[in-house]
Structure 1
Amino acid sequence: MIADSEFAAIRWRGKDLRVEYQRIAPERSDAPLLVFLHEGLGSISMWKDFPERLCTAGGFRGLVFSRPGYGRSTPRDADETWDVDFMHRQAHEVLPAFFEAIGLQEKPWLFGHSDGGSIALLYAAEFPDRVAGLVVMAPHILVEDVTVANIELARQAYLDTDLRQKLGRYHDDVDSAFWGWNRIWLHPPFRQWNIEGELATIRCPILAIQGIDDEYGTLRQIRGIAERVPQTRLLEIPDCGHSPHRDQPETAIVATVSFVKSESSP
């Protein structure tokens, strides 16, 4: 069902990088293609079996990859710092370069979690004709106090507990993954980051999912998407934190399958 990992070569920021990716059920040539965009500390392996379960349930194809700096993709240099526009650059530069490198020509569905959800939104806003639809779980469209407070707690846990060891299972260079994400989110100018005004150019359908108990953001995030993109459906899940695919996977799968199939109908 899942093909072995492959590596795509891209050039970004003046450097040659490799991007780790896996295909799910490529033999389903006529099925919708879901591209999975991981969270700020994620990777292919950190999704575990969720992408395969979702694609099996819906009869979809899947494409899962680790952004540069994560998983088995090229790590971030130790002295490389990310700018406030790092998610914009992932959406506007890295994602198109990756798609070109693997020869992707069709319109995929983007399934993004957390930072990956924000990147999906930014891609669809910049390239409205290149995407069939979006499923975004716990995306960020602005920075909230609760987000920063919990990212500060994550920093302390990384320094003082076994969090570094646990995350090391999912990344060849765990410091690359953690500090790239943590330092920019705690960088004071990043408090002004806001993409609300950019959402209006999105033309594809959106399913926005968030746990009611999300520790990294309030429901203002997905409700703000619906206010600006009228073709948005909202799913607010009780007894669910920041990761619906781990806390309430069946709810996320059923909702996604129903959404993609209904929006794929002629």
Structure 2
Amino acid sequence: MSATTFATLTWRERKVRIEHQWIAPERTGAPLVVFLHEGLGSIAMWKDFPRQLCDAGGFRGLVFSRPGYGRSTPRGPEETWDVDFMHRQAHEVLPAFFEAIGLDEKPWLFGHSDGGSISLLYAGRFPDRVAGLVVLAPHIFVEDVTVANIEQARLAYLETDLPKKLGRYHDDVDSAFWGWNRIWLHPPFKQWNIEAELDTIRCPVLAIQGIDDEYGTLAQIRGIAERVPGTALVELPDCGHSPHRDQPEKAIVATVSFINEDRRSP
């Protein structure tokens, strides 16, 4: 990937810097894939997967860390996220980021977990601004298994060396962890549901999930297929919540095939 650069935008009445990296920008005319990370992710946590995917498909790529993650601006000292935090990322941050970097084309969004949900919300709000979606283990409603495992993550953060491990991927690890963990465990968040907002999605959608996903059941991606006609589903055996780590080759093959098949369609 190229060197990390920063874009500055105004969000929540303050200046926010967004770290981002381009992959193979010299492949002019190739599809652009924008990678949206999970609830505890960042550019660094993707490791080499975005490059592998783009090389396999001959794509260009754009990887970035949302506010509060990686080397992007951390949450403010008193800033807490509300039930609509993913909506605000999709409806406010992502459009502002694209404007700040001068993006004037329709990208493919490749989102994992929370990043998958944000991708769905963006495509639902701005159906004419996206070429297609690839979502890995997205959430469209809250399940008990998700909350139970996020509670286990809270205990691990308090009682183990998890902060040290996550510190390799975030300048402010407390900002990243508690921003994500507290809102998911906030009781009103159990009512969060974006199923109705999928109805306005018009682009091709590929939804991938591991059969052994510890953070959600297959009802998540099957629910997308019920709402978005033509959604392609891939249910991977021997795979948990992160298909790009547990089954990277299968995730790459499915994605490249899906994007290229769409390009060949009349």
Give distance in 2, aligned partners of 1:88 and 1:41: 17
Q: Which residue of 2 aligns with 1:27?
A: 26
**Secondary structure of 1:151's aligned partner:** helix
**Secondary structure of 2:40's aligned partner:** coil
Q: Which residue of 2 aligns with 1:44?
A: 43
Give distance in 1, aligned partners of 2:6 and 2:81: 23
Q: Which residue of 1 aligns with 2:65?
A: 66
Q: Which residue of 2 aligns with 1:82?
A: 81
The correspondence of residues 223-234 of structure 1 with structure 2, limited to 5 A, is 223-234=222-233
CA root-mean-square deviation: 0.5
Give distance in 2, aligned partners of 1:144 and 1:79: 28
Give distance in 2, aligned partners of 1:87 and 1:227: 22
8 Å Cα contact 1:204-1:231 kept in structure 2:
no
**Secondary structure of 1:73's aligned partner:** coil
The normalised TM-score by structure 2 is 0.99
The correspondence of residues 156-171 of structure 1 with structure 2, limited to 5 A, is 156-171=155-170
Q: Which residue of 2 aligns with 1:193?
A: 192
Q: Which residue of 2 aligns with 1:248?
A: 247
**Secondary structure of 2:89's aligned partner:** helix
8 Å Cα contact 1:211-1:236 kept in structure 2:
yes
The correspondence of residues 200-211 of structure 1 with structure 2, limited to 5 A, is 200-211=199-210
The correspondence of residues 2-17 of structure 1 with structure 2, limited to 5 A, is 2-17=1-16
What is the percentage of aligned positions where both structures have the same residue? 80
Deviation of 1:78 after TM superposition, in Å, equals 2.6
Counterpart residue identity of residue 181, structure 2: N
Q: How many residues are paired up? A: 265
Deviation of 1:41 after TM superposition, in Å, equals 0.0
Q: Which runs of 5+ in 2 are unaligned?
A: none
Counterpart residue identity of residue 174, structure 1: V
Q: Which residue of 1 aligns with 2:119?
A: 120
Give distance in 2, aligned partners of 1:113 and 1:148: 17
**Secondary structure of 1:256's aligned partner:** helix
Give distance in 2, aligned partners of 1:219 and 1:15: 39
8 Å Cα contact 1:57-1:253 kept in structure 2:
yes
Q: Which residue of 2 aligns with 1:146?
A: 145
Q: Which residue of 1 aligns with 2:53?
A: 54
Q: Which runs of 5+ in 1 are unaligned?
A: none
The normalised TM-score by structure 1 is 0.99
User: Once the two structures are superposed, what CA deviation does each residue of 1:148-195 show, in whole Å capped at 9, x if it has no partner?
Assistant: 000000000000000010000000000000000000000000000000
